[in-house]
A and B are shown apart, each in its own frame.
Chain A
Amino acid sequence: MTLQPEDFWSFTEWLLRPKAFLESALLQGIVLVVLAIVLGLLVGYVISAVRYGPGEGFYAVARAVRDFLRLDLPGTSARRIWALARLAFKEAIRRRVLVVVGLFVVGLLFAGWYLDPRSSDPARLYISFVLTATNYLILMLALFISTFSLPADIKNRTIYTIVTKPVRASEIVLGRVIGFVGVGTLMLVPMGIASYFFVTRGLRHDHEVADIKDLGGGRFEGKTSYDQFHEHTFTMDSPETPGGAPLGITDMVRGHQHVVRQIDGKYYIDDPEGALRARVPSYGELVFTNREGVLQAAGIDVGNEKMPGGYGSAGVARLVGVTSGPRRLEHGYMEGGTLGSGIFTFSDVTKARYPNEGGVPMEMALRAYRSIKGDIVSGLNGSITLRNPDNKQIESTPSTFVVQEYEIVEESLRLEMEGTDGTQTRKLSLFDDLVTADGRLTVIIKCLDSEQYLGMSVSNVYLRPAESSFAWNLTKSYVSIWLQMVMIIAFGVMFSTFLSGSVAMVATFVCVLLGFAAEQVYDIRYYMDKGEAMGGGPVESMVRLLRQDAMTTELDVDSVANKVIKAVDSIAIYTLDAIATSLPNLPKMVGTAEYAASGFDILDRCWLAMQSPRLAM
């Protein structure tokens, strides 16, 4: 999981973007609302002008606006909206949409057969399965219930009995949306609860103690039985207080471990721990030094390290044509056995925040790039040095670690360690010597193997002040699904006011697809603006396909045809770009599942940021 720069913004930063107001979410929201109103008026005028002529059409639109402000808005009644919402709700319920929940549960029952318990991280598999399943099921359901109801009413003419009552069109639309959201919520909640139990129960398993050896001095060493396709080894220590029962912990296998205890001469192994987590990371700032030890903003680019994605909320900047390339997070590398290093500076490192006696927990998910094959089985060696950011003389003795690729290395920064304060070597205290008064701490990471490289980005190394509860984290994922659902319902009802059911569904679906494909559209536009040949828009791509041209060559057609193709493409792409910008960033929202699955606490601030524009809709 790689975070993008925008994930590090605070909510206010995201809302206002102090230095780049054009990218601010607030501005984007306002512009979208204004744009929607202007577009609505324009379309309304064109339609009524066609019908009644240009002059009369203008008055018709003006009258509609006046009536809306003077009569409809003050006349809107909560009781009516509520009645219509209840109607939509009852309709869906009496049409037995709740069967879908049953299907989901049945799906879960069978899923147990297909989710491989032999995977190296079953928790991840289970969580991402339930979240993805719920997400797509709910989105599909939202698509169906929201788009077919109003057209059916219009077709059956039941709408006649509604509109001949003092009901405003806005109340009908709002009522539907609220009603369907109610239905969706009613389905999402049991699905969420079922998922929670599916995941927790699915991962729970027992071991027996298969073999135990007394090492003497109250120490034991043993092996568990082979269950769920794995086994653990463990060590146990007798406590120092006489008469206390020996207690131990197994090694980490498949993302979990067990506590082993001895009670009355018998050995018990507890339920698995550590599989379902919600780490709360605290990220720092990252700079690099090159092999001569000179500070640099970026590390070495070893190629193809630019993660796709990350235009993020470029906001109105996109619409007004201030185009920028993808804001992508790149992994920087430093060379082993040189002065090259990655320097993280963490802030807010205080005793209150990290009360653990064992030290400050730090996790690293580093990448390795090997320029020589060497011993491919064992990991690369690295070292961690702690330094006082204000007084660079105070530095700890480097401690080493081994990087296993694609695994998170868990370290603990001890409270006391060997180090130097510039004049002498002595025991340093983490909080007193290394952390500054305002709570900053520098962590320097180096690669020890020469001609090998370690790569990292800001999101790869973090301190872990707290662990949030898994249940709450899962809830947050579900709220994220809920918000996507609200949005699709809003779109569906909107389209169903003027399109027939199936057409409205397709239209909504296209919007969802466009939401998912937004980043690709942004990419194409970016290359078009830069004049880089990267396959071009739809027509150009088609021509290239037929001619079997490579993507990056100049389009080899005569100049008139070239101009026509480019013009048509740019119209298509700019339109798509504008629409995609106004659509919510669905991949980002779906991405919250990734947080939960990788065992990270969904960051409250970015969670909040993602959701706010949807709430405003």
Chain B
Amino acid sequence: MAETNAVAQAPTKSGASSPATSSNVVIETRNLSKDYRDFWGRKKVSALKSLDIEVRQGEIFGLLGPNGSGKSTTIKLILGLLFPTSGRVLVFDKDATETSKNERIGYLPEESYLYKFLTTDETLDFYGRLFNLSGAERKRRVDHLVNLVGLQNARHRQLREYSKGMTRRVGLAQALINDPDLILLDEPTTGLDPIGTREMKDLILNLRDQGKTVLLCSHQLADVQDVCDRVAILHQGELKELGRVSELLKVQDVTEVHARGLSEAAKEEIAQVIRRHGGTVESIDNPTTTMEDLFLNIVRESDRRPGARRVSSTGSDAAGPGVKN
């Protein structure tokens, strides 16, 4: 299955616990704090308290947390959209408030704040111009990105006619127009259907494979689990947990065995072996698939054979399609 592959890949990709050297640190926050104040300068809320994180070259770093935990504030501080109350943010070893760092950054905002009166082509062309790209270069990249996000058929329509998912794709395309080294994604999967979500996740992994650094923040835990190498969990502006996803999630004293084609007798025998070694059998069961897998399978099947209605054969492996005409 795709997800498990992704998680399994992660440790092998960027050496499990290589110490960060300054050369491969892309984002570094030092004692970063942000207070929001009202008009009179009185402190209203402390959105971020003494955050210290490092994001390394070529990893997917997730910022996790409930609403109002400081995720978006952190991203805005990294982008230089906000000034820190104290502490510093370094992006590519430069202060985050320097405009020149933006040359190497792609940013997908929380909602796609794009100009609704522009078409996809115009939008991408416009953002390309902001990066001072030449006409030929812009055309090449716009074509490439429109294909990448799958908007070939809608590229001459104004964004006001787009669905939320389509706007999101345009947003992603504009974030990639400058072929950035660092990509900041604020809630990348909100508003996307499961297929869109899957594609977004694959794209993020793909970007990482191209050696790019991705920082994403989300409260869709499944997304984070699927794609992130490392996560930081924030709550009320404080860093609560930081580490590799694979290590954070591993339940140390539980063993999982997946096997196919075992008889009831064989299962009983395995249970006995476990008991003999002093272990406790908690359950021996057929695994259930996720709703996401079920959904994706149905849609793929329907794409392949339009008009067919799929009825799952009860009792058998739900992932294996049984088709009835």
Contact = CB atoms under 8 A, between A and B. Distances in A.
A and B together in one complex = yes
Interface stretch (B46-54, B100-108, B149-157, B234-242): B100-108
Interface in A60-118: 67, 71-72, 75, 77, 79-80, 82-84, 86-87, 90-91, 94-95
Given A163-B81, A164-B80, A164-B105, 9 more contacts: A71-B99, A72-B99, A82-B129, A158-B114, A161-B107, A165-B102, A167-B99, A167-B130, A168-B99
A51 B43 CA distance: 12
B77 interface: no
Interface of B: 41, 79-81, 98-100, 102-103, 105, 107, 109, 111, 113-115, 117-118, 122, 126-127, 129-132, 158, 171, 174, 178
A87 B102 contact: no
Contacts of A166: 99-100, 102-103, 130-132
A160 interface: yes
A548 interface: no
Contacts of A82: 129
Tell me whether chain A's interface is mostly helix, strand or loop, or mixed.
helix
Contacts of B113: 156-161
Kindly name the residue among B98, B115, B171 whose own CB sees the greatest number of chain A CB atoms within 10 A: B115
B102 A90 contact: no
Contacts of B130: 80, 83-84, 162, 165-167
A86 B109 CA distance: 23
Contacts, number: 75
Contacts of B115: 87, 91, 158
27 contacts: A79-B132, A82-B129, A84-B130, A86-B126, A87-B126, A90-B117, A94-B158, A95-B117, A157-B111, A158-B115, A159-B113, A160-B81, A161-B127, A161-B174, A163-B81, A164-B79, A164-B80, A164-B81, A164-B105, A164-B107, A165-B127, A165-B178, A166-B100, A166-B103, A166-B130, A166-B131, A167-B102
What size tier do the contact residues of chain A reach? 20 to 34
Given A87-B126, A91-B115, A71 B98 contact: yes
A163 B102 CA distance: 9
Contact of B129 (A71, A80, A95, A159): A80
B122 A90 contact: yes
Interface of A: 50-51, 67, 71-72, 75, 77, 79-80, 82-84, 86-87, 90-91, 94-95, 156-168
Nearest to A84: B130
A50 B41 contact: yes
The 6 lowest CB-CB distance pairs between A and B, nearest first, are: A83-B129, A94-B117, A165-B130, A166-B102, A157-B113, A164-B107
B90 to A, nearest CB: 16
A161 B81 contact: no
Contacts of B98: 67, 71
A75 B102 CA distance: 13
Nearest to B134: A79
A77 B132 contact: yes
A80 to B, nearest CB: 5
A83 B41 CA distance: 37
A272 B208 CA distance: 79
B72 to A, nearest CB: 11
A164 B102 contact: yes
B96 to A, nearest CB: 11
Given A75-B99, A90-B117, A90-B118, A165 B81 contact: no
A87 B158 CA distance: 14
B63 to A, nearest CB: 17
Contacts of A51: 41
B178 to A, nearest CB: 8
A80 B115 CA distance: 16
A162 B102 CA distance: 10
Contacts of A84: 130
Nearest to A87: B126
Contacts of A164: 79-81, 102, 105, 107
Nearest to A86: B126
Contacts of A167: 99, 102, 130
